Amino acid sequence: MRALIFAVRSLVRQPGRTALGIIGIAAVGALLFDMLLLSRGLVVSFRDLLDSVGFDVRVTATDSPLPGGIRLTDATGAAAQIARLPGVAEAVPMRTATGEVWQTGRPVIGLMLTGMDPGARRPWTLITGADLGPSLAPPDLVVNQSLMDEVGGALGSEVTLRTGCDSSRAALAPRTFRIVGIAQFPFDDEAQRTAVMTRTALREACGDDKDEADMLMVASSGGAGAAVAAIRAARPDLVPVTNEQIVARMQTQGFTYFRQISAVLSTITLLFGFLLITVLLTVSVNQRLAEIAALRALGFSRGRAAADVLLQGAMLVGAGGILALPLGFALSLWLDQILKAMPGIPASMHFFVFEPRALVLHAALLVTTALLASAYPMWLVARLPIATTLRNEVVG
């Protein structure tokens, strides 16, 4: 009789207890798995989002990775110079602003505006209609679905838009634009209203004479690192950062809450799993003391008797841990939806993201738990006094 079959039979013999153990570990394991998906989910998802845009380097005038810092001037020239560097495929200036749609008799609609010329890559994905063209009479506007819904008109209709370019500058007069297309913007959340126009159109709307941009979006041709080095050498006054660097910065500054929450909850979860298995195995061992003593008398070594307990623990945790994966995955989808309902979260971003390393960690943590949880009942079995136990069984 192989040790495995032996342990399986021992477990099957106590179906209720075994089911309790497996279900308990499945629940604990599902939570653990979710915590692992959560611990890096936002970071991974943010990196995917940055990568999906197609540009892997961002160049700004200051050390701030996101819009809002000091702007680049002579952006067209800088973009052209960088685009010519070896290892750079494309460099496109981008300018952001705010806007308000004015419609007679209706409330003003606020929106986020981007000024960027569509090149080989663009951060938005056209759904219907046309992309931005060079026309300036009136200039083209590509909007997202929620802005389109709000404005109400059809593609090709004109809207009056007042742009807000700088808090320092006076309010500008509203201008007319034509909505030519509907697109998806990767960083949009469910409620956000977004529009993009050409940089020339935005420059004109802002009355901007310095050819400003918030950043240059750069696509490398031979790796972001090489492109960054080339840009640094050519333009020491500018600050190029890779997506990886942005993510790394996020990881140390922005998204640590989830890592911490996940670490605390995982620990508590594992503690419960540990207690559950320890209790179940200990109860089972205590019920079988006489039987174990008899096996020892028949020649089972200490190690063999203890290994049987370990094997049972491992099988409970193994079965529960495997069951935990689909359970945890389903749970993570549900939790992700709940968290994503928070305002300001880009629709394509996720809190729970699967990575192979989560699976490895899940397995490693559960194996450790199984080992620790089996330790006490194994010790009970190993130091079991055979003669006294056999005698107690008959006398008691």
Partner 1 sequence: MEPLIEARSLGKVFPMGGGPVHALRDISVQIAAGEYLTIRGPSGCGKSTLLHILGCVDTPSSGTLRFDGRDVSALPDHARSDLRLRSIGFVFQRFFLLPMLTAAENVDVPQAEAGVSRADRKRRTAELLDYVGLGHRAGHRPSQLSGGEAQRVAIARALANRPRLLLADEPTGELDRANGEHIAELLDRVQADGTTVVVVTHDAALAERAGRRLVMRDGLIEREEHAR
Ligand X SMILES: Nc1ncnc2c1ncn2[C@@H]1O[C@H](COP(=O)(O)OP(=O)(O)O)[C@@H](O)[C@H]1O
Residue 190 interacting with partner 1 (CB under 8 A): no
The partner in contact with residue 84, picked from ligand X, partner 1, none with C-beta cut-offs of 5 to 8 angstroms by kind, is none
Site residues, ligand X (CB under 6 A): 388, 391
Structure tokens that stand for 240 in this block: 């190029």
Residue with tokens 């990775």: 65
- 60 vs 121: CA distance, rounded Å: 19
Computed from CA positions of residues 364, 365, 366, 372, in that sequence, does the dihedral angle turn out positive or negative? positive
Residues in a beta bridge with 160: 102, 176
Residues in a beta bridge with 163: 99
Q: By C-beta, is 98 or 388 nearer to ligand X?
A: 388
Q: How far is the CB of 379 from ligand X (least distance, A)?
A: 20
Interface residue with partner 1 among 121, 169, 210, 302 (CB under 8 A) is 302
Q: How far is the CB of 41 from ligand X (least distance, A)?
A: 57
Pairing of strands 109-116, 215-220: unpaired
- 28 vs 276: CA distance, rounded Å: 10
The partner in contact with residue 10, picked from partner 1, ligand X, none with C-beta cut-offs of 5 to 8 angstroms by kind, is partner 1
Interface residue with partner 1 among 134, 264, 391, 392 (CB under 8 A) is 391
Structure tokens that stand for 250 in this block: 């996020």
- 12 vs 281: CA distance, rounded Å: 14
Q: How far is the CB of 309 from partner 1 (least distance, A)?
A: 15
Residue 2 interacting with partner 1 (CB under 8 A): yes
Alpha carbon 39 to its chain's center? 8
Question: If we measure between CA atoms, which residue out of 13, 32, 73 comes closest to residue 265?
Answer: 32
Q: By C-beta, is 89 or 386 nearer to ligand X?
A: 386
- 171 vs 193: CA distance, rounded Å: 20
Q: By C-beta, is 153 or 385 nearer to ligand X?
A: 385
- 56 vs 193: CA distance, rounded Å: 25
Q: How far is the CB of 391 from ligand X (least distance, A)?
A: 5
Residue 387 interacting with partner 1 (CB under 8 A): yes
Residue 259 interacting with partner 1 (CB under 8 A): no
- 204 vs 197: CA distance, rounded Å: 11
Q: How far is the CB of 394 from ligand X (least distance, A)?
A: 8
Number of residues lying near partner 1 (CB under 8 A): 26
Q: How far is the CB of 49 from partner 1 (least distance, A)?
A: 55
Q: Which stretch binds partner 1 (CB under 8 A): 40-48, 131-139, 298-306, 370-378?
A: 298-306
The partner in contact with residue 13, picked from ligand X, partner 1, none with C-beta cut-offs of 5 to 8 angstroms by kind, is partner 1
Cα 301 to Cα 201, 289, 293, 382: the distances in Å are: 85, 15, 11, 9
Interface residue with partner 1 among 149, 158, 190, 291 (CB under 8 A) is 291
Strand residue runs (E) in the chain? 57-60, 88-102, 109-116, 125-129, 140-143, 158-164, 175-184, 194-197, 215-220, 239-242
Summarize as ranges the residues that interact with partner 1 (CB under 8 A): 1-2, 6, 9-10, 12-13, 290-291, 294-304, 386-387, 390-391, 393-394
